[in-house]
């Protein structure tokens, strides 16, 4: 700051923070930071700086005041505030390659509410990363091999009366196919837990599924059943993602990452992984973690080895600067072990990986449910609840409105804790909801549509106009903060506050047919554009009318 250099001969960076409107626009505690160095009271330093800033910043700062023990409050001129409308969020990630991995459903199982949540949050985070200039690759990971597949295949064969792929034709619609597969998983899981004979058969089927991939077998009866039903799962996933507006560049099936992980773990037996009772483990106790099995005693890769293979595959495909992985928080400790093991031989890949986690998704008043028992909260249950509430409360049957309501209800909460979803609250046109913000945008566009005049120059701001403009100019800082923290809820909080600020302005200030119509139309247009940009970053539509 030039004033500090001129007065005290000290070079230092100055942190400015937004302050309450009654104090100005920006505040700094730099005088308190300088007090020890200069051996002067903070108040004395602040008073001297205030005089110098007034001299140096005429036309930019309209008022400088000193508060408390030495805080400096600065109020910008209207002209500087108008100039701030041109500011854009910093392209802080320009040139970076980032892989965003999220959703991660398993074929042969139903999509649950957690998949819906990670899809919504993952989309928003990927949007933020792209907005900051990164080249973002959206990828998905799922278990098309593993014990859950063995369980499902066991029940499928029982229901088909053996290896009879022609009988699959009885399931003609995708809904029928997925409902049947889901029931087969439940049946197989229960049999695995309750019947030792069935358990042994499932373990053998698990090996057979791995064998299909090793042999590239698509022709045997067993293979035809497997590949057909696996295909149903991917059709189901694609239909769901299209419905909610998600897109993925690549699916990484575990059948692809398993051999990579298996080879990588075997390559580092000794220095990183070690043998234990016929299995290959990573001794996490050395690092304050816990020990986990990466290759089981049957020689098959566990989830841990598959995740090792996934990271190596993502690096092979993208040579990323950063990899962001979004999952439930039930695997926090698990991922620490996986990444710590990778850190021993590929430290850069481990350090470039950011693991974001979230809690359980419940309906208001609900409890955690389990796909193993068949009583999970499915993704479609959440969407259906929103659609039903939307029709009941607003009379609106537009599916995109209810989907947007769900998205906003998820995104407005800070990532990390459990999510309690209230359908009625999410679709309300009052309060902090997606439809409220969509309506706020439509209302602003309606005002602009009714105006006979064009938006003009923003000049000589009145108090309410200045308050609205001041809030609009916060947008770039909020987006930058959301990018830095990978936290979309900052956008939600800001958009809600912005809409409230506009409502206060509009309640007391006529726009159409007012002598200040041109200036106020320019403010309404900037407000609507900012709302639209923010909603789009969240993956939510900004309709022109509702």
Domains of the chain (ranges plus CATH)? 2-76 (3.30.1360.70), 384-546 (1.10.730.10)
Decide: 403 and 244 in contact? Cβ < 8 Å: yes
pLDDT at 367: 43
CB count in 10 Å sphere of residue 173: 8
Largest Cα separation within the chain, whole Å, is 90
Phi first, then psi, for residue 8 (nearest 5°) are -125, -5
Kindly give the pairing relationship between strand 71-76 and strand 61-67.
antiparallel
**pLDDT given for residue 225 in this prediction:** 98
Tokens for 234?
Answer: 């991917």
How far is residue 531's CA from residue 536's CA, in Å, rounded to a whole number? 8
The helix/strand/coil state of 279 is strand
How far is 357 from 334, CA to CA, in rounded Å? 12
Rounded Cα–Cα distance for residues 453 and 466 (Å):
21
Answering whether pTM is above 0.85, one says yes
Note the pLDDT of residue 26: 92
Q: Write the burial class of residue 292 (CB in 10 Å: 0-12 exposed, 13-18 middle, 19+ buried).
A: buried
Question: What is the structure's pLDDT at 13?
Answer: 82
Q: Which residues, other chains included, contact 283 with Cβ-Cβ below 8 Å and sequence gap of 6+?
A: 274, 291
Report the 10 Å Cβ neighbour count for 84: 17
How many residues appear in the chain?
546
Question: pLDDT tens digits, the chain, 546 residues: what are they?
Answer: 677 777 777 778 888 899 888 889 999 999 888 888 888 898 988 898 888 888 888 889 989 999 999 899 999 999 999 999 988 888 999 999 999 999 999 999 999 999 999 999 999 999 999 999 999 999 999 999 999 999 999 999 999 999 999 999 999 999 999 999 999 999 999 999 999 999 999 999 999 999 999 999 999 999 999 999 999 999 999 999 999 999 999 999 999 999 999 999 999 999 999 999 999 999 999 999 999 999 999 999 999 999 999 999 999 999 999 999 999 999 999 999 999 999 999 999 999 999 999 999 988 875 444 444 456 789 999 999 999 999 998 887 888 899 999 999 999 999 999 999 999 999 999 999 999 999 999 999 999 999 877 777 887 899 999 999 999 999 999 999 999 999 999 999 999 999 999 999 999 999 999 999 999 999 999 999 999 999 999 999 999 887
**354, β-bridge pairs:** 324
Which two tokens mark 431?
């309060």
Can you give the pLDDT at residue 373?
Answer: 44
Tokens matching residue 383: 């969407």
Structure tokens at 126: 């990927």
Q: What per-residue string of b and e applies to 377-411 under the rule 16 or more CB within 10 Å gives b?
A: bbbbbbbebbbebbeeebebebeebbbbbbbbbbb
């Amino acid at each position: 700051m030039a004033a500090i250099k001129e007065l005290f001969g000290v070079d230092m960076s100055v942190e400015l923070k937004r302050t309450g409107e009654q104090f100005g626009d920006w505040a700094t505690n730099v005088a308190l930071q300088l007090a020890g160095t200069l051996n002067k009271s903070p108040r004395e330093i602040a008073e001297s700086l205030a005089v110098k800033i007034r001299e140096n910043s005429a036309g930019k700062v309209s008022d400088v005041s000193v508060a408390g023990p030495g805080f400096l409050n600065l109020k910008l001129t209207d002209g500087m505030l108008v100039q701030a409308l041109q500011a854009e969020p910093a392209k802080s990630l320009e040139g970076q390659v980032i892989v965003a991995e999220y959703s991660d459903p398993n074929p042969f199982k139903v999509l649950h509410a957690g998949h819906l949540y990670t899809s919504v949050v993952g989309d928003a985070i990927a949007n933020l990363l792209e907005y900051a200039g990164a080249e973002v690759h959206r990828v998905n990971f799922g278990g098309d091999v593993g014990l859950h597949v063995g369980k499902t295949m066991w029940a499928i064969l029982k229901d088909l009366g053996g290896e009879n792929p022609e009988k699959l034709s009885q399931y003609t619609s995708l809904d029928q196919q997925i409902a049947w597969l889901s029931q087969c998983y439940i049946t197989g899981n229960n049999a695995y837990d309750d019947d030792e004979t069935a358990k042994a058969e499932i373990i053998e089927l698990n090996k057979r599924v791995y064998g299909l991939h090793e042999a590239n077998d698509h022709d045997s009866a067993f293979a035809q059943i497997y590949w057909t039903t696996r295909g149903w799962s991917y059709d189901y996933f694609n239909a769901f993602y299209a419905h909610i507006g998600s897109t993925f560049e690549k699916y990484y099936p575990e059948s692809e990452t398993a051999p990579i992980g298996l080879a990588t773990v075997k390559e580092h037996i000794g220095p990183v992984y070690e043998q234990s009772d016929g299995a290959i483990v990573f001794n996490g106790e050395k690092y304050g973690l816990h020990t986990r099995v990466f290759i089981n005693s049957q020689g098959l890769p566990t989830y841990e080895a598959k995740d090792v293979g996934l990271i190596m595959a993502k690096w092979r495909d993208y040579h990323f600067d950063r990899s962001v992985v979004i999952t439930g928080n039930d695997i926090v400790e698990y991922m620490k072990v996986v990444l710590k093991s990778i850190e021993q031989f590929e430290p850069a890949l481990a350090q470039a990986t950011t693991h974001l986690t979230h809690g359980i998704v419940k309906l208001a008043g609900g409890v955690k449910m389990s796909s193993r028992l068949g009583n999970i909260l499915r993704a479609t249950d959440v969407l259906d609840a929103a659609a039903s509430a939307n029709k009941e409360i607003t009379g609106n049957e537009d599916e995109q409105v209810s989907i947007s309501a769900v998205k906003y209800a998820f995104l407005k909460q800070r990532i990390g804790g459990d999510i309690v979803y209230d359908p009625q609250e999410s679709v309300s046109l009052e309060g902090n909801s997606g439809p409220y913000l969509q309506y706020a945008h439509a209302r602003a566009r309606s005002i602009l549509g009714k105006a006979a005049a064009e938006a003009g120059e923003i000049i000589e701001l009145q108090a309410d106009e200045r308050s609205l403009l001041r809030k609009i100019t916060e947008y770039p800082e909020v987006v930058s903060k959301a990018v830095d923290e990978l936290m979309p809820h900052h956008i939600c909080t800001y958009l809600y506050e912005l809409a409230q600020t506009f409502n206060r302005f509009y309640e007391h200030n006529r726009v159409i047919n007012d002598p200040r119509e041109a200036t106020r139309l320019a403010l309404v247009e900037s407000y609507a554009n900012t709302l639209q940009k923010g909603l789009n970053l969240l993956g939510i539509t900004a309709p022109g009318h509702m």
